[in-house]
């Protein structure tokens, strides 16, 4: 028995012909637009699908707008890595996590991290961009110094900003204890 054909998705009114062409290409190859890893995640940002795919085809990073579908918390190293390991150990749901030179970048729900006040943490919001490699670029592979620790796939999950805050705070405290800063 053959699986039913997926219903076609109507392109948004502001989609360019190139965007529609890339979407049709994705559907014909995979049966659905979401068959391309991270495609739905990119579409949610309002970024041009065509521009994103062309950047990746050239081996470049794709700039995605922040503040529409998610904000980004940028954490300094090594506490950022420690926070992600802690969240994994606690089995907290993790959305996409990106390693960038000396930082870990974590998309979180829009405005969920506006009140962050921890050292070494920066919140990116509306008007800023996140440079992302293709979802296939997962550690230890890198592209222009960036790699996915947790690649954006089909899950619509974002990391909870409060869980991330707690884990990063704990990682900073542990690092301080090791250096003899906190007593």
* pLDDT one-digit tens code per residue, 89-113: 999 999 999 999 899 999 999 999 9
pLDDT of residue 39: 76
Q: Average pLDDT in the 65-73 region?
A: 96
What is the pLDDT confidence band of residue 144, given thresholds at 50, 70 and 90? very high
What is the pLDDT confidence band of residue 180, given thresholds at 50, 70 and 90? low
What contacts 164, CB < 8 A, 6 or more positions away?
Answer: 73, 83, 87, 106, 108, 113
Please measure the distance between the N-terminal and C-terminal CA atoms of the chain and give it in whole angstroms. Answer: 67
- pLDDT at residue 148 above 90? yes
pLDDT of residue 28: 34
Q: Tell me the sheet residues that pair with 74.
A: 105, 122
Listed in sequence order, the DSSP H helices in 31-182 are 39-45, 49-57, 79-89, 161-179
pLDDT of residue 42: 84
Q: Average pLDDT in the 147-174 region?
A: 91
Q: Average pLDDT in the 137-147 region?
A: 93
Question: pLDDT tens digits for 22-42?
Answer: 444 443 333 334 445 567 788
């Amino acid at each position: 028995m053959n699986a039913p054909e997926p219903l076609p998705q109507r392109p948004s009114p502001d989609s360019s012909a190139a965007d529609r062409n890339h979407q049709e290409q994705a559907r014909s190859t995979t049966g659905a637009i979401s068959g391309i890893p991270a495609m739905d995640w990119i579409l949610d940002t309002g970024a041009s699908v065509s521009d994103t795919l062309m950047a990746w085809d050239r081996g470049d990073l794709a700039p995605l707008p922040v503040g529409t579908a998610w904000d980004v918390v940028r954490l300094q190293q090594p506490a950022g890595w420690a926070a992600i390991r802690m969240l994994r150990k606690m089995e907290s749901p993790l959305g996409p996590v990106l390693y960038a030179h000396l930082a870990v970048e974590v998309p979180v729900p829009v405005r969920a991290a506006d009140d962050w006040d921890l050292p070494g943490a920066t919140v990116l919001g509306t008007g800023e961009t996140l440079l992302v490699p293709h979802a296939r670029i997962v550690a230890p592979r890198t592209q222009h110094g960036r790699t996915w620790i947790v690649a954006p796939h089909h899950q619509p999950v974002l990391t909870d900003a409060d869980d991330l805050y707690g884990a990063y705070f704990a990682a900073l405290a542990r690092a301080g204890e090791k250096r003899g800063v906190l007593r």
